[in-house]
Amino acid sequence: MNEKRTEISSLGEFGLIKQLTQQFPINQKSTIKGIGDDAAVIKYSMDKHTVVSTDLLLEGIHFDLMYCPLKHLGYKSVVVNVSDIYAMNAIPRQITVSIGISNRFSVEALEEFYDGVRLACKNYGVDLIGGDTTSSQKGFIISITAIGEVEESKLAYRNTAKEGDLIFVTGDLGASYLGLQILEREKKIFLENPGVEVKLEEDQYLVERQLKPEAQRETIELFHELEITPTAMIDISDGLSSELKHICAQSNVGCHIFEEQIPIFQETYDAALKLHLDPITCAMNGGEDYELLFCMNKTDAQKIYGRHGIKCIGEIKNSSYGLVLESKAGFHHEITAQGWNHIL
């Protein structure tokens, strides 16, 4: 932690905004005017559509500052927003960041948050072009808006999956949920025995998936490079089951998913068993993975088979088929967005 503590009041609102936003360069040619006027100005080319997504994050509801470092929080807040832009098959270009803060936070603490925001802006190639700063009585409040662009023909909605499409997911599912369980467990131990050493090294991968997730930039760039467009797409923020239900309900189709194909890394699998949880249930219902779930016609799908980190997990069926999960033993189960009573 930073030793120095500068009170927000010593800078005032405008001084604080200047301090927090001064080291954000403008890199996108579509950013005409960034921070500093009444509104930012963006100019995308005529043939593109603009994609906008906003998230509101509240302390105590969406994050816990006891175990979430402010830099990670800044990074993650940006990532969850650009992930929504990617899920439309669009390229994020700009973000705005609005914060509600109390005098509990020092200027240094807020700078840590903006360090994370800056790193995410760099990694995902977006410009910070504005925001708002206001006081909050207690908790930390964050609202981020991401703005991106894409050709109309490349937009990937949730409601356009077709019978016969193949269903894919990127990456690894369930790790973020398990990371959260581990952080909650350590918090409890710490609160009961203050001073006890918190050991997280062993579960570093899982904890990192929870605290510092990444959005799937490479996958979207691959689609654009290969000139293929998913027939439907969604990012996995609430768990695979829930996202499959969204796509199927909105597209009026069913699906058949093979348990065997659901991507679960060895670390994730082992950690689930250690915590007496079913790895498949964690992968299906965990959430906050920020991987992509997408559907693709069989011709386009040929081009991405075997691509690193992309896995075919099933096929879109007609609506009367329902949502089916075929277990490793060959049994068929209906996919439901389950709670967490399902403990082995």
Q: Is 123 in the site for ligand ADP (CB under 6 A)?
A: no
Residue 294 Cβ, how far from ligand ADP at the closest point, in Å? 32
Minimum CB distance to ligand ADP, residue 138 (Å): 18
CB of 40 to Mg ion, least distance (A): 12
Contact status, residue 79 vs residue 213, Cβ threshold 8 Å = yes
- Picked from ligand ADP, Mg ion, none, the partner binding residue 35 (CB below 5 to 8 A depending on kind) is ligand ADP
Q: How far is the CB of 122 from ligand ADP (least distance, A)?
A: 16
Q: Is the dihedral of CA 152, 157, 162, 168 positive or negative?
A: positive
Nearest residue to 83 via CA among 20, 176, 18: 176
Helix axes 12-21, 107-124, angle to 10 degrees: 40
CA gap 344, 334 in Å, rounded: 19
Specify the residue, 131 or 213, whose C-beta has the smaller distance to ligand ADP. Answer: 131
> Would you call 105 helix, strand, or coil by DSSP?
coil
Is residue 132 involved in binding Mg ion (CB under 5 A)? yes
C-alpha 105: how far from its chain's center? 26
* C-beta of residue 60 within 8 angstroms of C-beta of residue 66: no
Stretch that binds ligand ADP, among 91-99, 198-206, 225-233, 330-338 (CB under 6 A): 91-99
- Of 21 and 81, which CB lies nearer to ligand ADP in the complex structure? 21
State yes or no: residue 17 binds ligand ADP (CB under 6 A): yes
End-to-end CA distance of the chain: 40
**Residues 51-60: b if buried by 16+ CB within 10 A, e if exposed:** bebebebebe
Closer to ligand ADP by Cβ: residue 130 or 171: 130
250 CB-near residues (< 8 Å, 6+ apart): 157, 158, 159
- Report strand pairing: 254-258 vs 91-101: unpaired
- Strand 31-33 and strand 91-101: the pairing is unpaired
Q: Which is nearer to ligand ADP, 130 or 263 (CB)?
A: 130
Both tokens of 132, joined, read 């708002």
Cβ 30 to Mg ion shortest distance, Å? 23
Q: Which stretch binds ligand ADP (CB under 6 A): 31-39, 247-255, 270-278, 280-288?
A: 31-39
Q: Is 97 among the residues that bind ligand ADP (CB under 6 A)?
A: yes
Minimum Å gap between C-beta 7 and ligand ADP is 17
From the list 19, 133, 145, 250, which residue makes contact with ligand ADP (rule: CB under 6 A)?
A: 133
**Judged by CB under 6 A, which of 99, 107, 173, 335 binds ligand ADP?**
99
Edge-to-edge strands of the sheet including 48-58? Answer: 48-58, 141-151, 91-101, 127-135
The pair of three-digit structure tokens given for residue 333, joined into one six-digit string: 């189960």
Regarding 85 and contact with ligand ADP (CB under 6 A), the answer is no
Site string for ligand ADP, 152-191 (x = CB under 6 A): ----------------------------------------
Residues 19 and 127: their CA atoms lie apart, in Å, by 17
Name the one range near ligand ADP by CB under 6 A: 64-72, 97-105, 211-219, 279-287.
97-105
Q: Based on CB atoms, which residue is closest to ligand ADP, 38 or 197?
A: 38
Measured from each CB, the residue nearest to ligand ADP is 130
Q: Which residues bind ligand ADP (CB under 6 A)?
A: 17, 21, 35-38, 97-99, 128, 130-133
Q: Which residues bind Mg ion (CB under 5 A)?
A: 132
